[in-house]
Amino acid sequence: MCGIIGYVGTDRGDDAIEVLLDGLSQLEYRGYDSAGIALADGGIAVHKREGELSALESTLSPERFDGDSIGIGHTRWSTHGPPSDANAHPHTDAEERVAVVHNGIIENYQSIRDELAAAGVAFRSETDTEVVPHLIAGFLDEGLDHEAAFRAAIDRLEGSYAIAAVFDGTETVYAVRNESPLVLGVGDDGHFLASDVPAFIEYTDRVIYLDDGQFARLTPAELVVTDGDGRELEPSIETISWDPDDAGKSGYDHYMRKEINEQPAALRECFRGRLDELSGRIDVPELDELGPVETVTFVACGTSYHAAMFGARLLREQGIPAHAFLASEFGADVVPIDSTSIVVGVTQSGETADTMRAIREANRAGATTVALTNVVGSSAARETDHVLYIRAGPEISVAATKTFASQQAALTMFAAAVTDRRSRDLVRELRAVPDRIQSILDTSSAREIAETYRGSGAYFFIGRGYHYPVALEGALKMKEITYEHAEGFAAGELKHGPLALVSEETPVFAVATGDGPLAEKTIGNVKEVEARGTPVVAVTDGRSDVGRYADHVLEVPATSPVASSIVANVQLQLVAYWTANELGRPIDKPRNLAKSVTVE
């Protein structure tokens, strides 16, 4: 969601305005509706605007700020108060002695706001964040120094937050994290902080991930991390392994198209060192100490939940009871969890608030926890007993594509590893997946399908078995980036209600591969909608007769049932992309959505 960038440079460093604006542009993918910066050289200068970053940039004259070396910036995704100039961050106290940016939600802000208002404080926004600079100012008035006032204000807050502050007359940025991501960048000519590494990867690849309750003090000369009691810590510095160009568009019109096309490379990286075709063994060293697996509970949200459904079915078919739960609905009072339980949090960012809450609840119950995530050093990676990285690389578009395929692949390896399953056929099929996806990328007719059905009344997606989560994911992609109504169903459920919705204006995308019972039953469901004049698009490998009853066919290479769901999903991603492109939608930044959902 919201994005934070902060910078303190040396005399040799870049100008703060350049770093801040570049950082905010790299954080646009998170989703936002306003943006702002605060520069703190020779007084605090705040500039903020509703709308896209370009609206803020149009009000700035970079030459005016040449030589300024300290500042903070923010992209806001509205929670308290609608998008407006006044509600945009940064926020200051009445005398503009301190400026603050904040991600997360301050749960007790209303009682603090009432208290401050009774003391005569006049608020200029509807946000929960504005209480923070006024709290700090109050402690400054009591005689506390900048750091002490910052800490005292933080002590008053309840909820989730990543907060950064600058003060008039200092070359220091103060920051703190609690249940909202914050990472520090260690540079040669300055230091950085941000919600996510892409904000400053152009300047440094050395990072420190803050833990909950940790504070940071950034100056031109040093970067100091302390605990809640002020004791100095020695955090580990990690080196980010990907190049800044990895987060660029590389000539594509949209990040989403680039990331769809990156799936073969992402999957090869996911499989690297984990597949042994000679022995038929799938070796995942990260899980060696997991111990016996009796039952598995997956918790996830959105696209990751669809991957979790896929993973749960894999385990059930291998004799291990497994269930996928929406993390926002998960609770120990609903799902029995104890020390014998294994809970797997599936989260691309490793920071998803609902999933992190579920993981923490599982930890408190004594369960063994596993993170399946893309981001090294993320909260999920640090707070679980085991972590399995999907290795998909940076994903910038809000709509997840390559990370879903990599989650499916990683979950396939997870299921094989925990059951000690040996299968040369499975390993061979997984190794072939990247090439099979490439063949789809090279030959897909999805663009023509999108042109044919652009402007339909609704879009329905159906599948059975492993293709049921793929149908749900296909519908999610369509609704996310086209703003058109789309729904996914288990194919057999059409006749139990949804069939009332089909018409000549509601194309049905049916995923059916192989020639077994599930494909045959799906053909029956296709006939049900065909009889009602509904156009059908079959996603199929041609091994069944489903194509005979379809108006259009999206072909996929023949492979195993498990691998076919990874492959088939790519066709549905392309249909959603080209439909959104035809409709002129802002594909990478769909309205109201955020890449990393860090509030519950």
pLDDT at 64: 66
Decide if 502 contacts 472 (C-beta within 8 A). Answer: no
pLDDT in tens, 134-184: 999 999 999 999 999 999 999 999 988 999 999 998 899 999 999 888 999
Superfamily of segment(s) 3-246 = Aminohydrolase, N-terminal nucleophile (Ntn) domain (3.60.20.10)
Mean pLDDT over 17-36 rounds to: 84
Q: Distance (Å, rounded) from C-alpha 486 to C-alpha 508?
A: 10
Q: Distance (Å, rounded) from C-alpha 172 to C-alpha 51?
A: 29
Give the 3-state secondary structure of 513-534.
CCCCHHHHHHHHHHHHHHCCCC
Q: Indicate if the pLDDT at residue 331 is higher than 90.
A: no
Helix/strand/coil percent split, the chain, to 5: 40, 20, 40
Mean pLDDT over 431-453 rounds to: 96
Tally of CA atoms within 13 A in the half-sphere of 229 that contains its CB: 2
Could you identify the residue written with the tokens 């994005």?
Answer: 3
| 357: helix, strand or coil | helix
Decide if 428 contacts 279 (C-beta within 8 A). Answer: no
When mean pLDDT is compared across 376-390, 400-414, 476-490, the lowest value belongs to 376-390
Q: Distance (Å, rounded) from C-alpha 211 to C-alpha 224?
A: 14
* 597 contact partners, CB below 8 Å, separation of at least 6: 1, 301, 302, 352, 353, 354
Peptide bond into 90 cis (omega under 30): yes
Could you identify the residue written with the tokens 């603050």?
Answer: 100
Domain ranges of the chain: 3-246, 444-600
Taking each helix axis as running N to C, give the angle between helix 424-443 and helix 263-271, from 0 to 180 degrees, rounded to the nearest 10: 160
On the 0-12 / 13-18 / 19+ scale of CB atoms within 10 A, 222 is: exposed
pLDDT at 30: 66
Nearest to 581 by CA among 447, 464, 427, 475: 447
Catalytic residues, by residue number, are 2, 595
Could you identify the residue written with the tokens 């329905």?
Answer: 460
Q: Distance (Å, rounded) from C-alpha 307 to C-alpha 346?
A: 8
pLDDT at 520: 93
Superfamily of segment(s) 444-600 = Glucose-6-phosphate isomerase like protein; domain 1 (3.40.50.10490)
pLDDT band with cut points at 50, 70 and 90 for residue 2? confident
Report pTM: 0.80
Q: Indicate if the pLDDT at residue 247 is higher than 80.
A: no
